[in-house]
Amino acid sequence: MLTHSDTRSEAEAAALPLVSVRGLSKSFGGVQALKGVSIDIAPGEVHGLVGANGAGKSTLIRTLAGLVLPDAGEIRVDGRPVSLPGPSAATDLGMNFIHQELAFVPGMTVLENITLGIPKPTRFGMVDWKATAREIAPIAARVGITAPLSANVSGLSTAENWLVNICRALVRKARLIVMDEPTASLSAGEVEKLFTIVEDLSASGVAVLYVSHRLDEILRLCDRVTVFRDGRSVAGFERVDLAHGRLVEAIVGGKVERLESRHEQASATEVVLSVRNVASLPMVRDVSLDLHRGEVLGIGGLVGAGRSELARLIFGADRLDAGSMTLDGRPYAPRSPSAAVKAGVGLVPEERRTEALILSKSIAFNALLANLEKAVKSPLLPLIDGQKRKTHAEVIIRDLAIKTDSVDKAVGKLSGGNQQKVVIGRWLLKKPRVLILDEPTRGVDIGARAEIHRLIRKLADDGMAVIVVSSDPEELPDLSDRVLVMAEGRIVRELSGGAISRTAIIEASYQAKEQSGKR
């Protein structure tokens, strides 16, 4: 690996890209993930990287991070060719990475996680944690970390752990910071704080490679954007040329068919699930709702409104403090998720990698987790028939267009969108009466998002009762027959028909939040 010891004038260095990638290629098991991609990242710029799941974005990031060795191509830093045999090589060159799947040590404190691998002040040969905390506290406050630096990260939310990772990157004073879907679990206030951080970094000369499926963020933040598709870099846009429609067409290779908005009176059909005055303090307070056969019921609101907690209550993952539920007119009080599944209720959780999938296991294994009865040799011989499991998995792969070369491939090696399809496919086999999807398109590209939306709509058309929990106000209007907006653990507004809009959902969320803050 070349170092920065070579002589070069400041003017020459300023004229060069900080990082330049040319003709990078990489294959895994015969499948080509990168096909000669090229990208330049200048000092102090915010460079957007967009593309469908499986387009090669994560492989490029892992290659720059020294986690993957390319098969061909060249990486230059400050105009000099470099090799990156490991993560330390990337760090030594001033590159820092915040991956989509957060890196932290659950048994350690916030301070210890922020300073992992970073030299710390010592006293009498021991780490001086008080001095370390004094150095880190202002940066943690700038990011918006409110938890004590002495707190264990295992007790933090996903959003808080994102902030810990961002703080770690700032502490390292990297010349390039790569952020992979940084706002996926952040509230509106936290997103604004992140934008401020990104803008400050850019102004101070630090380059940011910003990877996101949220094109409004790309349009707001980025000086330039590179588009990947099918392992290739297919388009580049300067800021003056950036437009939502042009980005979408470059990502998918053509126009995206817009899902027709369907707001029929599903309330005229039978009630499948009835929830009355349920509570699980402090996150869910006195919630009542009815879910009808063939209905897509959206649940919106800000982060922390209690949406995911309500989904967990219905699925039996958490216990009720008060209230009652009925399913098909009969009392429904699941004491565990397995009881909910037996009763006919399924859940696609928000955190698919930690709560829905066993990453080291195959697609077939994961797809059949809720459907083992379909794969046993016979009722009298409850052993798994490998051929039956493979056959069912192949149906899911075909029907959901999952990109893989084998049902035996470890699900952890799939892109985020394809992992989500495996989880949804599990419930397609099960055919529950009620299916709850918590953030079904988080971290999913535009094309896969449209596919998942059409699939959800088809499930409802076939008679399934569906609840979609989403923090994205753009998602619910096109998809839902009705939308319930939650704030501070309560349902504060119901929207239906033409009243469902992004503006109405946001207004209800923030209006209720402001009113609760005045009480």
Who wins on pLDDT, 166 or 459?
459
- Checking if the pLDDT of 310 tops 90, the result is yes
Q: Are residues 162 and 202 in the same domain?
A: no
Least confident of 111-125, 174-188, 345-359: 174-188
Number of domains comprising the chain: 3
Q: Are residues 441 and 490 in the same domain?
A: yes
Q: Please state, in angstroms and as integers, the Cα–Cα distance from residue 256 to each residue in 48, 54, 234, 465, following that order.
A: 21, 18, 17, 27
Q: pTM to 2 decimals? A: 0.61
Distance CA 224, CA 222 (A): 5
- Checking if the pLDDT of 518 tops 60, the result is no
Least confident of 96-100, 218-222, 281-285, 296-300: 96-100
Q: Is residue 387 part of a domain?
A: no
- Checking if the pLDDT of 13 tops 60, the result is no
Q: Is residue 393 part of a domain?
A: no
Q: Are residues 133 and 231 in the same domain?
A: no
pLDDT of residue 259: 46
Spatial neighbors of 125 by CB under 8 A, at least 6 apart, are none
Distance CA 19, CA 207 (A): 9
Q: Are residues 150 and 244 in the same domain?
A: no
pLDDT of residue 100: 67
pLDDT of residue 263: 44
Q: Are residues 272 and 337 in the same domain?
A: yes
Mean pLDDT of the residues in the chain:
85
Q: Are residues 251 and 340 in the same domain?
A: no
Q: Are residues 220 and 186 in the same domain?
A: yes
Q: Are residues 306 and 230 in the same domain?
A: no
> 137-171: string of b/e by CB count within 10 Å (b at 16+)?
eeebeebbbebebeebbeebeebbbbbbbbbbbbb
- Checking if the pLDDT of 267 tops 80, the result is no
Who wins on pLDDT, 262 or 294?
294
Q: Point out the domain boundary residue: 126, 146, 173.
A: 173
Q: What is the CATH number of the domain that holds 276?
A: 3.40.50.300
Q: Is residue 489 part of a domain?
A: yes
Q: Is residue 4 part of a domain?
A: no
Q: Are residues 160 and 297 in the same domain?
A: no
Provide the residue range defining the domain that includes 152. Answer: 103-173
3-class DSSP state for residue 487?
Answer: strand
Q: Are residues 436 and 512 in the same domain?
A: yes
Who wins on pLDDT, 57 or 262?
57
Q: Is residue 501 part of a domain?
A: yes
How many alpha carbons fall within 13 Å on the CB side of residue 297?
A: 27
- For 436-479, the pLDDT digits (tens) are 999 988 777 777 788 888 889 989 998 999 999 998 777 898 89
**Of the spans 66-75, 149-158, 242-251, 400-409, which averages the highest pLDDT?**
66-75
Distance CA 460, CA 465 (A): 6
- Residue 433 DSSP class: S
- Checking if the pLDDT of 14 tops 80, the result is no
pLDDT of residue 3: 33
High-pLDDT (> 90) share of the chain, %: 42
- Of 240, 185, 229, 182, the residue nearest 50 (C-alpha): 229
pLDDT of residue 510: 61
Q: Is residue 412 part of a domain?
A: no
- Checking if the pLDDT of 416 tops 90, the result is no
Q: Is residue 441 part of a domain?
A: yes
Q: Are residues 183 and 295 in the same domain?
A: no
- Checking if the pLDDT of 198 tops 70, the result is yes
Who wins on pLDDT, 173 or 127?
127
Q: Are residues 230 and 248 in the same domain?
A: yes
Q: How confident is the model at residue 6 (pLDDT cuts 50, 70, 90)?
A: very low
Are the C-beta atoms of 481 and 296 separated by less than 8 Å?
yes
Q: Point out the domain boundary residue: 221, 255, 289.
A: 255
Are the C-beta atoms of 208 and 182 separated by less than 8 Å?
no
Q: Is residue 381 part of a domain?
A: no
Q: Point out the domain boundary residue: 173, 195, 223.
A: 173
